[in-house]
Amino acid sequence: MTVNSTDPPLRIAHVLGKMHGGGVEAMVMNYYRHINKSKIQFDFFVDKDSSIVPYQEIESLGGRVFVIAPYQNVIQYRKELTTIFLENNYKVVHSHINSLSPFPLSAAKKVGIPIRIAHSHSTSAPGETTKNIVKNTLRPFSKVYPSHYFSCTNTAGEWLFGKNIVKTKQLQVINNAIDVNKFAFNKDDRESLRVSLGLVDKLVIGHTGRLCFQKNQAFLIRVLHSFLKYEPDTILLLVGDGQDLNKLTNLAERLGIRESVLFLGNRADVHRYYSAMDVFAFPSKYEGFGISAIEAQASGLPVILSKTVPKEACLSDQCAILPLKEGEDNWTKKILELKEKRDRQLNGDFTDYSIDIIADNLESLYLSLVTESERG
């Protein structure tokens, strides 16, 4: 697709489902902030029961937000999507809702939208029986409606679309990217936050992520219980919110360590809080990628990841991978080892996760896909 300076930008319909400030929504917003908006614009399709939608920022950048029925109401959901798709004559619909993508993409196919992208950001959900039933029921339809297949890693793509899509090179891996400079260690942020949060002279184990079963913060609280035997002046700093907040608070109280766990909720300036941490721990039960681990390493933090986090997320020599089955005591020993490496120097190659590079690549990809489609 040849773009002239007088042409309006190509509008991409991004289907996000429920926006609650999670990793996928943050990633799409990150691409949007850095993409050339004279060539590409994003429209955001979000469910009515979303809790965190940055309307003002999106609209200030030239984007639009369409609030639609929750996907649980499938008939109304597809009806509203179909109407909006027809009214706006999109050429590209990009769905980020994993195994639920057949719902919006079937509507897109029905109205003749040529470029229908299914983007896999996750894998299976061990321990979440109901969610797995839904995912496994919908997975066979994941290849029926898309024209193109995207994922954050080969593993995530293979899980949703199958091995053949990967083997035949139909899968396009789009690395989750960050602004590396934004997450760089900042001494002033460290000092001011540690004073305001009461963390002076404390060892801080940090974590960012939605408070939920997948992110497994309960394991971290149990690790802290073990860790305090060795380092009594330690705080577990949890940045994020979610349905497990009360459960996690109660667990910390039962273990008698509530005063050592700091729940900060969602933060718009989450990048600053990495500077206040000493070690970053990420014990997810499953992950499509784990962008928080990249952010932490960009801040020069030593990082420990569960083995279920893709190895692509381990970029520095201060990154360690440990299976959850090793238990709290072994995680404690590894964190004690890692805390000695906290020199806050950026090490590792972050080129493949630079937002400027990835946003440029995504822009070119969108335009080339439309060009190919128009050529027939």
Domain 10-177+354-375 coded CATH 3.40.50.2000: yes
Same fold, 10-177+354-375 and 187-352: yes
CB 125 within 8 A of CB 131: yes
> Which pLDDT value is given to residue 96?
96
> Which pLDDT value is given to residue 193?
98
Average pLDDT for runs of 10 along the chain of length 376? 71 93 86 97 95 93 97 93 97 96 96 97 73 79 95 92 93 93 95 98 96 96 98 97 96 98 93 97 93 94 95 91 96 95 78 93 97 88
CB 205 within 8 A of CB 281: yes
> Which pLDDT value is given to residue 7?
81
CB 60 within 8 A of CB 89: no
Domain range summary for the chain, segments of one domain joined by +: 10-177+354-375, 187-352
**Paired tokens of 131:** 């969610």
* Cα separation, 309 vs 287, whole angstroms: 5
CB 141 within 8 A of CB 109: no
Contacts of 317 (CB under 8 A, 6+ apart): 347, 348
User: Could you count the other beta carbons within 10 Å of the beta carbon of residue 237?
Assistant: 23
* Cα separation, 283 vs 290, whole angstroms: 10
**Paired tokens of 7:** 């042409």
- Report the top-level CATH class of 187-352: alpha beta
> Which pLDDT value is given to residue 10?
97
Report the 3 state secondary structure along the chain: CCCCCCCCCEEEEEEEECCECCHHHHHHHHHHHHCCCCCEEEEEEEECCCCECCHHHHHHCCCEEEEECCCCCHHHHHHHHHHHHHHHCCCEEEECCHHHCHHHHHHHHHCCCCEEEEEECCCCCCCCHHHHHHHHHHHHHCCCCCCEEEECCHHHHHHHHCHHHHHCCCEEECCCCECCCCCCCCHHHHHHHHHHCCCCCCEEEEEECCCCCCCCHHHHHHHHHHHCCCCCCEEEEEEECCCCHHHHHHHHHHCCCHHHEEEEECCCCHHHHHHHCCEEEECCCCCCCCHHHHHHHHCCCCEEEECCCCHHHCCCCCEEEECHHHHHHHHHHHHHHHHHHCCCCCCCCCHHHEHHHHHHHHHHHHHHHHHHHHHC
pTM over 0.85: yes
For 65, phi then psi, to 5°, come to: -120, 125
> Which pLDDT value is given to residue 288?
86
Residue with tokens 């979440």: 128
> Which pLDDT value is given to residue 137?
84
* Cα separation, 23 vs 311, whole angstroms: 18
> Which pLDDT value is given to residue 341?
76
